[in-house]
Structure 1
Amino acid sequence: MRFNLLSCKKYVISQKDNLAKHTISKKKHLGEVLRRVVNSAASFTHKSPNTKPSQKLQDLVKSSSVVIGSNASATSAFRNDPKFNKIVYQAAPEKNLTLINDKRAISNGNLAPLVGQGIISSNVRNSDMPISINYVCLDKNTQKVMLDTKSTDFGMNFFRGDDAQSAELIPGLPFGNYYNQQKFDNNLHVLTVNNGERGTIGCQINLAKIEEGYPLLINGGKLSGCTMVYAVKGNSLFIYHAGKSGNDASDWKTGSDGVRSIIDAHSALTSLKNDPLDSRADNQGLVNYLESHFDFYSLTYCGHGEAVEGGENVFDYNQDRATTDDNVRVGNAMALIVKHNGIIKIQTMSDDMTIDKKNVETQSVAHRIGQCVVENG
């Protein structure tokens, strides 16, 4: 089963799994209360045939209430149910050495150990980062640029390595258990840049501000329809993530509207004027733009069969590749920045993964790793 929705935020396996998300609004919860009321009323009238069902139903409705925070308790209950909970924090003894070696490689700027390992996430939400950035959000709700800020505004999150965990499809069903078992140190800084709401969220990082001994791992969460760009110009790294939410049924298309949004976001951050080359608002046009405006770039996008010519780091995570029908498929785009002896190394990774819903094992179907070195960073 293939999940290429025009969003990288949510996946729906089936109606049953969708209900199992337990992200319950007040209206939905009230509907559940009313259903319980009807069942209770039927049971009550069976025991007391002389009582009018309509009266008892009215009494039960009057005594019912909406439970605030019920989604949290439902999520907890779902995770505690062994039938649904696939989270495993303890790695097998033979895997521990691999995890240790992986951690060492990542701290040295190597992303290869993370190929096919699921999606990184965290329950920790930090309002500030140890490094300042230039931030941009251009979508249907917000048009904002903030310069030299350490705040994690809408669509961004910062956490440290020891707070990392695996992202979940639904509560208790992770995209693999690698990040639940890997014990990163807190000197690993992790920045998540999510997509906008029919638009782009992005940032610019001054590479000279990267500290030695503090690797920075950047990711866009789970991709299913979104476009993710990492691009270097001089001493700056630019990150752009375009898309829309999973329940957005509008005609807004990431492969065209999102392309324009990325270019507009870059213009807003850098005060560059759009030139005639930018008028082609499709994935090929985006590749052309990246080729002409940056020293290095990595593009991870969800294609729809169109031919796109570009550099070696142009990656379509929606190509027709052999997979098991019952597996969930998801894209991943990461960048890792490390500094050693004043030299900045940036690795990027684009990954097309499958997740087995039965045992939540992850596997890379195809991937691409790129690298850029910036001296005197």
Structure 2
Amino acid sequence: MTETTEQTEKYDLLYSETEDDLRTAVRSLLADRAGPQDLLGRIETDSPYVPGLWKALAGDMGAAGLLVPEKLGGQGASHREAAVVLEELGRAVTPAPYLTSAVVATETLLALVGESAPAAELLAGLASGRTVAVLAVPLSAAPDAESPTASTVTGVADAGAADVLLVPRADGLYAVPAGEATVEPQTPLDLTRPLARVTTPAGSGTRLAGPDAARAAIRRGLLVGAGLLASEQLGLAEWCLEETVRHTRERHQFNRPVGSFQALKHRMAQLWLDVVGARAAARAAADALAGGSPDAPLTVAVAQVYCSRVAVRAAEECVQLHGGIGMTWEHPAHLALKRAKSDQIALGSAGRHQDVIAGLVGLPAPE
């Protein structure tokens, strides 16, 4: 068997019929309840979250429990299905705590199920969509970073939507009810993913695990989060490309669609190639996580390095090629650009992931 054949069998980049059906359902829900105009109106309010959307997505559709085994109250699906949900959330730049709760917090708790009864109980609430949990670490925290153990942590994503905060401390990981913590909103670049400063009093909450188990669980949660964040970045890049192609077909100059000019054709063709590459990287990361591949850390790092760059470039091209309208608050292109820039440093910057790649393949950077 050739190396190419082995690699093809190892990573299945194609979408299954089940995944396509899930995509259709999520896209339909978001189009109905969280379209661009709805979103533009929400970001000028105190909370960007669309009322009722989380219940419909997480509870009624069961998306929050995709990663949770059926015996624990979940859907028993895999990271591939969760990646499809994140692609659609990325396309719509949807304000929803899916990445933070249904992925990062859920994976962190799953790593503790064998030794923590409270973790299993909390997972049942997360899987049903009744409970939102957020790991109290900065959005920028990389999988290999040391978790903060101070009582106050800044830059925690979706903390304002959380019912429970998973708080790392020197002696382990604690589940702290949001009502016992102080959550102060911060001003984020990405208006669709709110950040907050979280302060939890000493001694509050229920201890879920000791320090060693907590570190391993948090690392697992952040690794899976980084891997599936690539799918969000992919969905965002796809929307930017499709919206740009649509606009340049409809916009005319000199009695011709602006998209017919060769210079713009070349730019969009190159962007299409980039998006195709991003799809391969994101799907490989999701498949590696779903299959428990030992190469998952490497595949996740590659996906983050590549997809974060593509998402930003696609959003920049979307803003620029829309001309004047792309620069206005009334068009959603600016939301895509801000999400892409925020995602570029979320769960580890591209440079941090490049260092991980170099270490994993034995090519350390020069000192």
- When normalised by structure 2's length, the TM-score is 0.25
Structure with bigger helix share is 2
- When normalised by structure 1's length, the TM-score is 0.24
